[in-house]
Amino acid sequence: MRLWPLLLLALSLLGLAQDLKAQEEVVRRLEAQTARARALEEEAARRIQTLNRELGRLSQRVKGLLEEKARLEGEIARLEGERARLRQEIGRLKEAVRETEGRIAKLGKDLENLKARLQALMGSLHREKAGRYLPLLRAQSFADLAVRARWVGYLSRQDAALVRTFQATLKALREERERLSLLLADLSQKERSLAQTQATLERERRGLEATLAALQREEEGKRALLRDTLQERQRLQAELAALQARVLAERARLLELKRQEEERRRQEEARRREEAARRQAALRPQVVVPPPPLPAQVGRLAFPVPGGRVLVPYGREGPFQVIQGPAPGSPVQAAAEGYVAGILYLPNLGYTVMLVHTETLSTVYTNLQEPLVQEGQKVERGQLLGYTGGGLLIRPEELEFRVAVRVGSETRFVDPAAYY
């Protein structure tokens, strides 16, 4: 059996198992990232739905406020038209009042003049008690006297009637002025009431405009937030798609590694069956070929487990010795001077350390805990390599010890007992 191909195969299988674990970790990490990205994308979708609902609500409010504003503006325009009509009517009434007051003033002045005439007449008659009869005394005849008396009485009656007419007209004009004044006051009160109502509606319109501006600013802010959220969701969807593609690719790679792992296990099982077959063959009677002598520079090999004993001799269970140490975790030492050619870890067998001593001599130590040496390191005879107890299928105090020699082009394991 060749030692180097066996070790290389074991090392490659170990690397494959490590790659499989690393790939599973990569897939788990990508799946976790995908789950987080999906959660973020769903959260963005929920935010978009919420923003759309809020924008719909704001749009309805804005629409209602615009309708209310249009109604107020129509009412304000109507009130403004009514106020303009009332102002025209007030102006017309004021003009009528001014005309009436002018007529009253003129009639009052005429009445005063008439009163002055009457007062002068009465005074004259008073001074001349009989003065009103003087025109009669100057009459030349009885007919003249009768005419003169009739005209004096007529003039007196006419003046009194004129005074009464002036007084009635003046009273009617004053009543008309009072009526116009009351009507003017009523219209002025209505105009002031309309002005107050219009001012109230103007304030309400300004309040609506302020509320509308605030809602429009809020709506614009929501739309900006919605645009940002949509962009963020698109970015998350792109990231999610990329992650899903990576997950699919890594899962495919993981499946390939698992297939390789299954192939490795199949090869390992085949190797175990081959090893079992060799062990069965070793139990059959056979011609024992004596091991070749050790190189002169090596001398005798040191027993690998100080204070231990050979529990299973070479060939009974395979091409190795099973050496039992004093206790679990017994120290294992180098059998001769050399360097560390390879270190292999298999959970069932623990760590295996291979030392190369010469071009034709190597030793192998199996069931170690984590070694105290490194690959490529030079070791001395008796140097501590580690402690037993690293495998699951081998008792913690035991060591499987192999000696490999090369004779010509062939490398084979030999009985270590020949070299102690």
Q: Looking at residue 379, which CATH number applies to its domain? A: 2.70.70.10
Per-residue pLDDT at 129: 47
Residues 190 and 331 in one domain: no
Looking at the predicted structure, is the pLDDT value of residue 386 above 80?
yes
Q: Report residue 398's pLDDT band, with 50, 70 and 90 as the boundaries.
A: very high
Q: Looking at residue 123, which CATH number applies to its domain? A: 1.10.287
Residues 101 and 222 in one domain: yes
* Percentage of residues of the chain with pLDDT beyond 90: 22
Spatial contact of 218 and 54, defined as CB atoms under 8 Å apart: no
Looking at the predicted structure, is the pLDDT value of residue 4 above 70?
no
Residues 195 and 55 in one domain: yes
Per-residue pLDDT at 278: 67
Give the residue from 251, 253, 228, 234 showing the smallest Cα distance to 37: 234
- On whether residue 244 sits in a domain, the answer given is no
Which of 234, 258, 285 corresponds to the end of one domain?
234
Lowest mean pLDDT across 77-86, 335-344, 353-362: 77-86
Residues 94 and 182 in one domain: yes
Boundaries of domain holding 187: 30-234
- On whether residue 71 sits in a domain, the answer given is yes
What's the rounded Cα separation, in Å, for the pair 169 and 173? 6
pLDDT tens sequence across 239-248:
878 888 888 8
Residues 203 and 336 in one domain: no
- On whether residue 280 sits in a domain, the answer given is no
Per-residue pLDDT at 28: 84
Number of domains, the chain:
2
- On whether residue 306 sits in a domain, the answer given is yes
Residues 219 and 337 in one domain: no
Residues 118 and 204 in one domain: yes
- On whether residue 180 sits in a domain, the answer given is yes
**Long-range contact set of residues 2-9: C-beta below 8 Å, sequence gap at least 24:** 2/410, 2/411, 3/354, 3/362, 3/364, 3/404, 3/411, 3/413, 4/411, 7/341, 7/342, 7/344, 7/354, 9/267, 9/271
Residues 217 and 311 in one domain: no
Residues 215 and 92 in one domain: yes
What's the rounded Cα separation, in Å, for the pair 97 and 181? 7
Which of 202, 234, 266 corresponds to the end of one domain?
234
Which of 187, 207, 234 corresponds to the end of one domain?
234
- On whether residue 70 sits in a domain, the answer given is yes
Residues 204 and 352 in one domain: no
- Across the range 372-399, mean pLDDT stands at 93
- Across the range 48-53, mean pLDDT stands at 88
- On whether residue 239 sits in a domain, the answer given is no
Residues 134 and 217 in one domain: yes
Residues 202 and 302 in one domain: no
pLDDT tens sequence across 125-138:
556 544 545 554 45
